[in-house]
Amino acid sequence: MTATRETKAASAVGQVRQGGALGLIAVSAVTEVRSKLRTPEFAVGAIAIPVLLYAMFGLPNAGVLPGGTTVRTAFVVSMAAYGVISLAIFTFGEDVAKDRGQGWLRTLRATPVPVWTYLVGKVASAVVLAALIVAAIGVLAATAGGVRLDAGTWVALAALMIAGVLLFAPLGFAIAFLVRPRAAAVISNLIFLPLAFASGFFMPLSELPEVLGDIARYLPTFHYGQLAYAVVMPAEDITYWTGVATSPAWVHLLWVFGSAVVLGAAALIAARREAVTARG
């Protein structure tokens, strides 16, 4: 790992000296993607768990919702959203916190390499893994589950899922910079698992206690799910599945983008404060 980072830093410094900002970003992004894909326990865990959950919860259920949407199709959205959001939280939360605790960010600040290029590399790796999660669930759903969606719908769903990595990255960064590095993994789990349950990713909110449905209205993950369900389901089925009347898309977008801005600002303030402290 140390050798990889030294190689990354050396290559990046070379790009800085050549004045190539785009080249610097490319070096950081490609190195980060290769690092993730060469770590089987992370790559397999990030992709395999959502697929396994779909196989457990989605495939056995052959029901059909009142508007004609199959339950297996609804679970494609639920498990893909689960996988993408967990990827964002743990990649940008636990992973960045670990590097922060090991002093890697402090080392970068002492070089000509901007820290933001390191973060862009994290984003690139998360986007690649998010695409693999959606593809794996989609292939399983289409082959073993008989889910039939037209090409345009698959593309729209995949695009929204991949965008979810960017929308929930601020939550991961907030965890990484606001909590102690050793506590980041625990905090990530304590935040994500309740969010996933309360947002109805594991089972419809209509089958959960009413209080969870009331809480869900204030969660960005729930509103993200509402946007994703709308890609493959009519409003009638969304209401039946979630147990909550649908709202205009702009309401859901406001919640998702608003939370991303607030959490991103909190993470930025914490990161800048740490940088000032390190220099002082």
* pLDDT greater than 80 at residue 32: no
| Residue (of 115, 122, 126) closest to 163 by Cα position | 126
Do the domain assignments include residue 262?
A: yes
Residues in the chain: 280
Nearest-10 Cα torsion for 88, 93, 98, 104 = 80
Do the domain assignments include residue 20?
A: no
More confident residue, 118 or 60: 60
For residues 209 and 170, is the Cβ–Cβ distance under 8 A? no
Per-residue pLDDT at 249 = 92
Residue with tokens 């339950």: 71
Per-residue pLDDT at 19 = 46
Query: What value does the mean pLDDT of the chain take?
Result: 83
For the stretch 59-112, pLDDT in tens is 998 889 999 999 999 999 999 999 999 888 887 777 788 888 888 777 777 777
Model confidence band, residue 260 (pLDDT cutoffs 50, 70, 90): very high
Do the domain assignments include residue 4?
A: no
Q: Which domain holds residue 109?
A: 42-279
Number of domains in the chain: 1
One-letter amino acid for residue 86 of the chain: S
Q: Which two tokens stand for residue 242?
A: 């979630």
* pLDDT greater than 80 at residue 151: yes
Q: How many CB atoms lie within 10 A of CB 32?
A: 25
Phi, psi of 243 (to 5 degrees): 75, 10
Q: What is the mean pLDDT of residues 161-188?
A: 87
Whether pTM > 0.75 for this model: the answer is yes
Per-residue pLDDT at 5 = 54
Q: What is the mean pLDDT of residues 229-233?
A: 94
* pLDDT greater than 80 at residue 20: no
Do the domain assignments include residue 3?
A: no
Model confidence band, residue 10 (pLDDT cutoffs 50, 70, 90): low
More confident residue, 17 or 257: 257
More confident residue, 8 or 264: 264
Bridge partners, residue 70, by sequence = 64
Do the domain assignments include residue 10?
A: no
Do the domain assignments include residue 26?
A: no
Do the domain assignments include residue 32?
A: no
Do the domain assignments include residue 36?
A: no
For the stretch 182-227, pLDDT in tens is 888 888 888 888 888 888 888 777 777 878 778 888 999 999 999 9
